[in-house]
Structure formats: structure tokens, C-alpha cells
Structure 1
Amino acid sequence: AALRDGLSEDRSGIDSNPVHRKLNEKTSQPRYDSMWDFWEAYKRKYPGSDLRIMEDMKHITEAVGRSTPGRLDKKLKRATVKTVRNKMRKLMSIWQRNTNLTIPPEVHDSVAPYIKDVLRHKIPLSIEEKAPTFLTIENYVDMEELLWQHDHHNYVHEGCRADLSALLKMHCYTSVQGYRKYARRSIRILSAWFHGKMESQKSR
């Protein structure tokens, strides 16, 4: 049926490149493009660099940390740990998108602790955080739109996105005690789910 509908029997024209979710052209694309420009400038300085190599990944992570100006750190003007982590997440993502290569898990997963536990003290990076603000309706809508439309993180399972949305709703519409109760239960469910031990909740 597929062949009669137009499916070609010749598969030579199909490439083996992975297919990625499209970035939002107005919000996400410019930020990812900025990190790609950073990578190209870095590669001109250090030819042969490859983000699949642990040493190269650590070196460029430090370069990002040292070249990013800080806004919250009024004294040293250093970037925060969170800012550098966000930039590196974008850099790794756009690098894989544009090169059609995959960063090994052991390299990819080392970036966050390297920033938090090593560069935090070596550079040093700031641990300042923005002052908490009230959650408005506009904030809530923005977070839901980010989660469902503009968050290009590759979750282990799309169900993670639904659970994050549910936790956000519980935070908005339940009392503190109620939120804590259901948040703890959600965490237990997520933990069981990720370990392949999810049981039916219909009887509860």
C-alpha cells in the first residue's frame, strides 16, 4: 500500500543524520546561534577541537565561564553557575545539531558538575541568585509556554514534561501543605517510573 501511495523503493537518497526539534526563530534560535558563533571563534583559536573529547569540553567550558559577564555579582562581575550551565547546554545542543555528531554521555554529563564543583572555585563563578518574585498569571503562562513550546531539552521521556507541568499547577493551586504532600508523592512516582517499577494508580 505504501509503495502504491508513492513510497520510493530507492533508499539511497535518505541520509543518516538525526532529526531535531525545530528551534523557535524569535526566542531560541538567536541564543543558540550566538553559542555557535562562540564555538567557531574558539575553533579558529584551537583548530581540531572536538566537543566529544573530555579535555576540549572542559577547556571550552572554562572559556565560556571566563568570557561571560556577570550581572548579579556586583563585586567581581562574574557570571553565575546557572548562567554558564545554560550557555553550555545551548552550546552542546547546537553543536550536535550542526555537526550531526553525538557527544558521549560521560562527556555531556560531566559538564554540569564540572561547572558547579570545579569552575565555581577556579574562576571563580558567582552563586548569586535573583531575588524571588511573586508568581503572576503572566509568569505562569510564560512558564507553561516555555515548557511545552520552547523548551528543547531532550527529556528521557516526554512524560517528564507532563509531570513538570502538573507540579507547576499544584504549586499554583494548592496550599503549602497540600503541595508538599502531592509533590512528595509525584517525586516517588517519578522515581519508580524511571526505574521501570511504575504501578497502576487507578485503584487509588
Structure 2
Amino acid sequence: MAKILAKESGLPIIVVNPDYPEGKLIKFFKSFTTPVCVLFDEVEKNFKTEYMLDFLDGVEKTAQKLVIMTCNDLSKVSQYMQDRCSRIRYLRRYSPDENAAFLPMLADDFGIKNKEEVVKFCKENIKLLSMDNIVSFMSEVKMLEDEDISLQEIINIMNISTENIPTKVSDTVEYDDECDDCDECNDGYDDYECCDAA
């Protein structure tokens, strides 16, 4: 979501690496006046949010910089950053259902050939329409779009919960404990049991 907003800004985007020292952020962003979009992904996990006010004060005084921060757990963000409208003007909470509006744009970004079919399939089948699930699924669809594999087959093998679609027994691998002296058993490794995938 944040990356989409950043892209929509039309500004050059700087994604801040969590390993970059917080103390050097202010100095770096003060070193130029070009308007940019600064993206902090999962700020509560990757950054010490109690020090972010200093960064925001420094950035505010230098140039036009759009700062976007993503957060999965607002309770883990420093209390000093909350209710500080002069530093953080907008706070937007998104529910996964709202992500459906971004499906066509994401399909375009991936260059998916059967866009309408994929968008409809996502809306009807992905139980949690998180950006992570959507992007992962579309990435897989793009990678496999020239293969003879259905959208249903793709999602069945992914770690994505689906709406009322039970995993088929045929999608799981079952092993038979008994062996019929296949080639694998005759390799000199008597200590290991061989099994045929059903």
C-alpha cells in the first residue's frame, strides 16, 4: 500500500534501510533540498521510533519531503509519535478488504496478461487480501503465466488461505512404508527405507 502511495506521489522514492544508523538519517536528508518521498517500512519493527521525532523535525526544516511510514502494530510505536499532528499529519488505518481496490493497478504493474480473470479470482478466493498475499500471488501468476497451470492450482500450492476451498487430497503427497525393490532401494543404502509417492 505504502509503495503504491509513494509511486502515486510522482516523487523520487527513498526506501530507508533499517540498518542505516538513525543518527545519520537527519544529516543525510539535510544534505539535499530535492523533494523526495521517504519510505519507512514496518517502522515499529525496523526502527527505534522514540528517536523518529528528531528525524521528522530535521526533515521538516529542510525541504519538501513526503514521509510515509508503514506499521502493523501501532501499539509498538513510541507514544511520543502518536497524537503529534504537527509531525505526523495523517494516520490511515487499512483493512485487508480495502486492498481489493488496488488489485487492477497491481495487475497492471505486474503486466499480467489475463488481468480481469486474476483480479476476479483474487477477490473471490483469497481469504485475507493483504498486500503480502496479493503481491505474492500475482508474482507467482506472472512467473507461471506461460505454463499450463490454473490460478486454482497456483493458489493451492501457496501459503495463502482461501475462501471455502479445502485442500484436495490429491494435492498432498502420501508415502507408502512398503517398498517394491525400486531402483532407489538398490543403491547400497540398506539403512534407509524407500517409498513411492502416491
Interval of TM-score (by shorter of Structure 1 and Structure 2): under 0.3
Give the number of the structure whose residues are more often helix, by fraction: 1
Q: Which structure ranks higher in relative contact order (CA pairs < 8 Å, sequence separation ≥ 6)? A: 1
State the TM-score, normalized to the length of structure 2.
0.24
Structure number with greater Rg is: 2
TM-score by length of 1: 0.24
